[in-house]
Amino acid sequence: MPDKTMPEKTLPENTMPDRTKVGVGLFLLSEGNFFLILLITYVYFHSMPGDGPSASSSLNPMHTLVFSICLFLSSATIHLAGRSFKLGKRRAVSGWLALTVALGAIFLCGQVREYLGLFAHGVSINTNLFGSTFFTLTGFHGLHVLIGLFALAALLGIAMSGRLGEIKPSGFEAVSMYWHFVDAVWVVIFTVVYLWPLVA
Amino acid sequence: MKEVAIPEALGGESFELEAHEGWLDWVASVDHKKIGLMYLFSSLIFFLVAGVLALVMRIQLAIPDNHFLSPAMYNQIFTMHGTTMIFLVVVPALVGFANYLVPLMIGARDMAFPRLNALGFWAQAFGGLMLYFSFATGAVNGGAPAIGWFGYAPLSETAFSYGPGVNYWILGLLGIGVGTLTAGINLIATVICLRAPGMSIRRLPLFVWMTLVTAFLIVLVMPILNAGLVMLLVDRLLNAHFFRAGSGGSAVLWQHVFWSFGHPEVYIMVLPAFGMISEIVPVFSGKPIYGYDFVAASTVAIAFLSLTVWAHHMFAVGLGHTFDLFFGFTSMAIAVPTGVKIFNWTATMYQGRVRFTTSMMFAVGFLLMFTIGGLSGVAFAVVPIDWQLTDSYFVVAHFHYVLFGGTAFAVFGGAYYWFPKMSGRMLDERWGKVHFWLTLIGFNLTFMVQHVLGMLGMPRRVFTYPPLPGWEAMNMISTVGAFILGFSVLIFIVNVVVSLRSGKVAGDNPWGAWTLEWATTSPPPEENFAHGVPPVRGRRPLWDLAHPDRTDEMMMKLAG
């Protein structure tokens, strides 16, 4: 047994993984499964389209790509914010966080605009299966972006009031992990929902 | 205000905990022991409620052509009975034990996220209340949901369940689901991050092992249920089309989503029970568990396989030959690691010095009853047998042998085993044995005959039946058995109440057990181990402590 050599005095948290990261990781694993089911449902119904609006007839991938790029970029900015946080550069942290919030907000505004456009063309959640699956999938993603924005805004508020020292590195890391997850989910959704009809 | 110092290992700060009086002491608590007990208490309350619902059903079914209940009421009652027993009784009971025991067993101060722990319990409790609010929607609106615990579409859609009852069911289950999910995350983080020095993964008590695997299943499959429920809710409230065949939706999709959660859920409900048996049997056999590694590894195998068997609930759909073969095969395969465990427990008892305490009797009862339930389960993996018996009373008998004969027996065994630790007093053994025998007799009277009724063709979920030959007598036997079972639960509750006041004082380690929870006082102090955690150099730290001349480590060296 390998652990025989382990000194008995070792304190648990020094050798064991950080619990905040483990907890958030598990939470994101479950969130991933949640989105997986919504995505499978989307794909299932997309593969046998019925009457009425569909992805290819209603969606504009180029428009969506513009605000999607903002979300993709925000993954980089939160990463830079985290790096500045580790290096103790407080003003840089605030700057990168503010940019992340702004990019996330642009994404949400883009999504709202897209929804309003669809509503105007008579596509809504009760129109047909495309509407049901599309709005449920992207709506839940949008909700996750919104929650992420609240968390980022809270971090930003703390950073701007100069109390960044009170935040544990793992707490900052948790928000960052969540934001990367939200971004990664959108990569998959964007590919399946917007790009697939272009090639199929 | 009470100053609580956090050990250096956990960051070394201290924080102020507000000390509350009376009930606020419980409601505002973030202590894993108090939350564990609250889980167990709420589980017991809902057990009584759902038990009464079961007795009402058995009264209705006692004689043919009975009109004690209306058909609509009967449908509501079996739905609420099933939903309550699964989501508000069995899972909270197991989460409650895990909450109480896991930190103690691994030598931790508390769970990884104490406040999340409290949130999970209250989400679960309010989810339960939300579910029961459906009765208050009134008969005009259809009352409580009448869709069965698996809520098949399109029955659960507005076209057939127009009242708000199903909405309450969905929202209640979402609350409960969030609660269970947080408990799962918390338990994994606790086991991964907070083990005492020396408590390596291969020294974990088996109850902790099984809880860990169960918690992973929870994290993986609860979101599947939540996604399904969300889609159903969107269908019902926003007129979407997911499961509405009339506008292109798919009712079979609901079945896939529900059962890809639902079958792992069965293992979520039984693996921790396996863990309890794996603690109880060795202690009362005076021997370490036979084949620790096999018990642990077979649990992991069960968990993986459990994710691949769901469509055996759907053979009657007509999925096609290939599908049926695949799911029939995986369902048979999962019996193998389960059978491994049965052999492990039996071999642990073999040539042991067996002490037949009430706890051990429930454990042995579990072995026998669960094996019967397991065997009828394997029978269902044979597709033609499933086609013949599906939706009959044979199914009802099967899963009650698994969930009552299995899980409930193990939970009762665990209750007698750990009650002294939780309360500081012993449960009365004489009444315990009366409780055991009445449970065993009542349970078998109730459910054994249902195998035969099912084979004779009595469908489940019918509110009454004609006086066919044999049906009358067997249903009456079943009803009598159910009342004996109900009476046995009353004996248990009286035993708990009386023993809490005047039971024999337990002491730290009344059973001569070996795992860490028995090293501290009964009940444990708020910080769990007032004098530090004993050194952990093997799987049985208290044995090593009591027998420094022949510790497990030395014996293993001797054995080579």
Confidence of residue B17 (pLDDT cuts 50, 70, 90): low
Q: Which chain A residue has its CA at the smallest distance from B193's CA?
A: A16
Mean pLDDT for chain B?
93
Q: With a cut of 50, say whether residue A135 has pLDDT above it.
A: yes
Percent of chain B with pLDDT over 70: 96
pLDDT band at B19 (very low <50, low <70, confident <90, very high): low
Whether A73 maps to a domain, the answer reads yes
What pLDDT, on the 0 to 100 scale, is given for residue B185? Answer: 98
> What is the chain A residue with the closest CA to B216?
A26
Domain contains A12:
no
pLDDT at B159: 92
* % pLDDT > 90, chain A: 78
Q: Does the distance separating the beta carbons of B238 and A8 come in below 8 Å?
A: no
Distance CA B132, CA B48 (A): 14
Query: CA end-to-end span of chain B, whole Å?
Result: 55
Tell which CATH classification among 2.60.120.200, 1.20.210.10, 3.30.365.10, 2.60.40.420 matches the domain B31-558. Answer: 1.20.210.10
Residues A66/A110, Cβ–Cβ less than 8 Å: yes
Average pLDDT of the residues in A109-119: 97
Q: Are B9 and A14 a contacting pair at CB < 8 A?
A: yes
B406: which DSSP letter? Answer: I
- Chain A interface, Cβ < 8 Å to B: 1-3, 6, 8-14, 16-19, 22-23, 26-27, 29-31, 33-34, 37-38, 41, 44-45, 50, 125-126, 128-129, 131-133, 136, 140
Segment B373-379 shows an average pLDDT of 94
How close is the nearest chain A Cα to the Cα of B238, in Å? 6
What is the tens place of the pLDDT at every residue in B289-310?
Answer: 999 999 999 999 999 999 999 9
pLDDT tens for A37-49 read 999 999 999 988 7
Interface test with A, best of B191, B193, B202 (most A CBs within 10 A): B193
Between the two ends of chain A, the Cα-to-Cα distance in Å is 55
CA–CA separation, B25 vs B14, rounded Å? 20
B10 touches chain A (CB under 8 A): yes
Residues B315-337 have a mean pLDDT of 94
- Predicted confidence at residue A50, as pLDDT, reads 80
**What digits encode the pLDDT tens for the residues B390-434?**
999 999 999 999 999 999 999 999 999 999 999 999 999 999 999
Q: What's the rounded mean pLDDT across residues A164-186? A: 93
CATH 1.20.210.10 spans which residues of chain B? 31-558
Q: Report whether B397 contacts B454 (CB < 8 A).
A: yes
Residue A8 lies in a domain: no
- For the cut 90, the answer to whether the pLDDT of residue B141 exceeds it is no
Distances (CA, A) of B12 to A21, B7, B71: 19, 5, 62
pLDDT band at A14; cut points 50, 70, 90: low
Q: Please give the residue that has the higher pLDDT: either B477 or B557.
A: B477
Q: Which residues pair with B2 in a beta bridge?
A: B17
Identify the DSSP state of B306.
H
Q: How far apart are CA A144 and CA A165, in angstroms?
A: 27
| Residue written as token pair 């993984």 | A17
In this predicted structure, what is the pLDDT of residue B450? 97
Scanning B178-207 for CB atoms below 8 A from A yields 181, 184-186, 188-190, 192-198, 200, 202-203
From chain A, pick out residues whose CB is under 8 angstroms from the CB of B223. 30-31, 33-34, 37
ipTM metric: 0.92
The residue among B131, B402, B166 whose CA lies nearest residue B265 is B402
Check whether B52 has a pLDDT greater than 90: yes
| pLDDT for residue B8 is more than 50 | no
Do A27 and B231 make contact, defined as CB atoms within 8 angstroms? no
Query: Is residue A70 situated within a structural domain?
Result: yes
- pLDDT above 90: residue B203: yes
Binned at pLDDT 50, 70 and 90, residue B211 comes out as very high
CA distance B119 to B110: 15
Which of A33, A54, A135, A178 to substitute to test the interface with B, most B CBs within 10 Å? A33
Contact: B247, A129; criterion CB under 8 Å: yes
Nearest-neighbour CA in chain A from B393: distance (Å)? 32
Q: Which residue of B has its CA nearest to A34?
A: B223
Tokens 């709420």 appear where? B42
Contacts of B365 (CB under 8 A, 6+ apart): B405, B409, B413, B436, B439, B440
> How does A185-200 read in b/e, with b if 16+ C-beta sit within 10 Å?
bbeebbebbbebbeee
* Residues B387 and B321: beta-carbon distance below 8 Å: no
pLDDT reading at A2 higher than 50: no
**Residue range(s) defining the domain that contains residue A134:** 19-47+54-199
How far apart CA B328 and CA B351 sit, in angstroms, is: 37
- Average pLDDT over chain A reads 90
Report yes or no: B307 at the A interface, CB cutoff 8 Å: no
Provide the pLDDT confidence category of residue B21 given band limits of 50, 70 and 90. confident
Q: Between vectors from CA B347 to CA B538 and to CA B405, what angle results, nearest 5°?
A: 105
CATH code, domain carrying A103? 1.20.120.80
Report the pLDDT value the prediction gives residue B11, as an integer from 0 to 100. Answer: 44
Q: What pLDDT shows up at residue B18?
A: 59
A14 in a domain, yes or no? no
Min mean pLDDT across A35-39, A126-130, A195-199, B493-497 is at A195-199
Mean local confidence (pLDDT), A182-187: 97
Other Cβ atoms closer than 10 A to B550: 11
Contact indicator for B273, B328 with CB cutoff of 8 Å: no
Mean pLDDT of B277-286: 97
- Domain assignment present for residue A2? The answer is no
The count of CB pairs under 8 A between chains A and B is 129
A88-102, B12-26, B38-52, B206-220: lowest mean pLDDT where?
A: B12-26
- The better pLDDT of the pair B202, B1 is held by B202
Residue type, A50: G
Report pLDDT for A98: 97
Q: How far apart are CA B17 and CA B543, in angstroms?
A: 36
Domain-embedded: residue A127: yes
Cβ of A22 and B186 within 8 Å? no
Query: Is A16 within 8 Å of B194 when comparing Cβ atoms?
Result: yes
Q: What average pLDDT score do residues B129-144 get?
A: 89
Structurally, chain A folds into a number of domains equal to 1
- With CA atoms as reference, the chain A residue closest to B231 would be A136
Q: Which helix (H) or strand (E) holds B389?
A: helix B383-389
Mean of pLDDT values over B254-267: 96
pTM of the predicted model, to two decimals?
Answer: 0.93
Tokens matching residue B67? 């009109």
Residue A30 is nearest to which of B10, B112, B222, comparing CB atoms? B222
Chain A hits for B194, CB-CB cut-off 8 Å, are 12-13, 16, 19
